[in-house]
Amino acid sequence: MTYNILQKFLRAGFALESRLTTQSVFRLAASMEVGIDDWKEMPRPAIMQILRQFCIALWLVEYRDEAEQGNADFNVCGASGFLWQSDRGKFLITAHHVWAAFRERLLERPGRCLIFYLDRNHAIPIFGAKAVSLDQDLDLAVFGDPGIENLKPDEKAFFPEPPYPRSEVTTGDRLALCGYPKDLRISEPYNTIGTVYIQGSAIVGAAGLMIRMSGNPPNKFRSAAVPSLASFELPGTSGGPVFAFRRWGIEWVGIVSEGAGPQHYDVIIAPSRFIGDDGKITRPPTM
């Protein structure tokens, strides 16, 4: 799908969604206590149906040795990721702390772990992916090389970078994010029930190193497939993409980093403007 065609679909979806006032609720670090009646059962917004193509559910499966005891033959660690394409190549982008957790298990259990992502109803292994650039302080991790270039997504797709420079997010910009939280996953057969989606206004720090978005809007929606939960825990959404609504369409502006505490339960976003078209992360002079 070319960039111009994609933006045509995105603008159509955004126009339809603008008639809706509902939003989903999002929380990472701890549970958000909400009443079941607060959740409104609604279909997914049209724009979400489009943006979710570029967000993937990541899994690391740790297989047990034959000598190990237990009812299950594997342990699962989950997160989210973003498929991105520039004129320099294709990349998988997630939060650095996601990769750190995966790497710890890979080192502890060499030869016993497998990383894969979900595409429709299929678990697709990721082989040969190499780190292009990592930054713990910015909480960004970029992967590329043949392991990503050779991916052949079906339902999923790489988000095409527009043919002009990215703009910075400013306070008040309207943002949208999506991801695959733990509470909406099924460990067997490695499938997902639902995607979390939230819109909100950006709050940008003076140095521009961090973006915040309120994670507790007054209106929340869920699709019929999502269970109605009184306590909704959403770890696993880290690494999901964040987009800004522009007059000309949709722009990728960041990666979900973490969730803050009460009372606003803000979402912390790592800006994508530090990632170049070659996938390399460049720190700002202020760091």
Task: List domains and CATH numbers for the chain.
Answer: 3-272 (2.40.10.120)
Per-residue pLDDT of the chain (287 residues; tens, 9 = 90+): 555 544 444 444 434 333 332 232 333 333 334 444 455 555 667 787 888 899 998 888 877 766 554 544 556 778 899 999 999 999 999 999 999 999 998 888 888 888 888 887 788 889 888 999 999 999 999 999 998 999 988 889 999 988 777 888 999 999 988 888 776 665 555 555 567 778 888 999 888 888 998 766 554 555 556 655 444 556 778 999 999 998 888 999 999 998 755 666 688 999 999 999 999 999 988 87
Q: What is the pTM of this model?
A: 0.80
Question: DSSP letters along the chain, please?
Answer: --HHHHHHHHHHHHHHHTT--------SSS-EE--GGGEEE-PPPHHHHHHGGGEEEEEEEEEPPTT---SSSEEEEEEEEEEEEETTEEEEEE-HHHHHHHHHHHHHSTTSEEEEEEETTEEEE--S-EEEEEETTTTEEEEESHHHHT---SS--PEEPPSSPPPPP-TT-EEEEEE--GGGEETTTTEES--EEEEEEEEE-TTSS-EEE-S--S-EEE-TTS---SEE--TT-TT-EEEEEETTEEEEEEEEEEE--TTT-PEEEEEGGGB-TTS-B---TT-
